[in-house]
Amino acid sequence: MRSFILFVAAIALPSYTSALPTGGNVGENLPRPNFEGKFPESINITKAELRARQFDPFDPPNCADRVYETATVGNGSPKDWTRWKQISQPIWCNGGQCMAGISTSTSYTLGFDASMPLNRWVTGGFSVSASYSTGNNYECTGDSEKGHKKVCIWAYKGHTAYTVKNIDYPMNPRCGGKSESRDIRVTSPLSDEHVKGYWCGYNEDCHDMGYEEWTENHYPN
């Protein structure tokens, strides 16, 4: 009698084996994917940012983590400038000849200028650098007979001005959207050797060493 009851019970039990997928690879039967941190070109995000944006929807978001960038506005509205720096002391001729040279001058390292602080410096798509050195390997001579009362050395360098803006947004999308600053004007030195040199100043063109001027366009025009 016991054997008959067990046999009937076995027949009455539903079979779940047929619910499992058949054919193909499942679970641990699949080979390990080759994760190399690569993304399609259409996905503009780094692997670190992607990981940071993975979150549990039931956890409170961490809104303190933000991404800070600086982007060019349109084509940047570029404009050419030349930056001038008096790199020598003014040397008086005192009725004779006079000379400003290496011993009376210094080399300056000059950086970009911005109308307000940047999240980061960007080229704006132009051939510019963040800084440059004027050097001071130059001499200028003056002569009282030519009307020179004093002489000095100026260094000049071409610059490009362009428009950017700061952008920041939360790494977790539940914390809101991005915010943008007002337009920022940046002026950066050219990255090549063009529009660069020295000029001898006399009389009223000589000021204290370190004095600066700007002229529109690239010198000489």
Angle at alpha carbon of residue 61, lines to 58 and 62, rounded to 5°? 145
Q: Is residue 19 part of a domain?
A: no
Provide the residue range defining the domain that includes 111: 38-216
- Output helix, strand, coil percentages for the chain, rounded to the nearest 5: 15, 35, 50
Task: For residue 18, name the pLDDT band (cuts at 50, 70, 90).
Answer: very low
The larger pLDDT score, comparing residue 189 to residue 22, is at: 189
What confidence score (pLDDT) does residue 35 get? 52
Q: Is residue 84 part of a domain?
A: yes
Number of domains in the chain: 1
- Mean pLDDT value across residues 78-85: 96
Reported as a single tens digit per residue, the pLDDT across 122-137 is: 999 999 999 999 999 9
- Mean pLDDT value across residues 59-69: 83
Q: Is residue 14 part of a domain?
A: no
Q: Is residue 11 part of a domain?
A: no
Q: Is residue 20 part of a domain?
A: no
Q: Is residue 23 part of a domain?
A: no
Q: Is residue 70 part of a domain?
A: yes
Q: Is residue 110 part of a domain?
A: yes
Which of 24-28, 37-41, 141-145: highest mean pLDDT? 141-145
What confidence score (pLDDT) does residue 189 get? 97
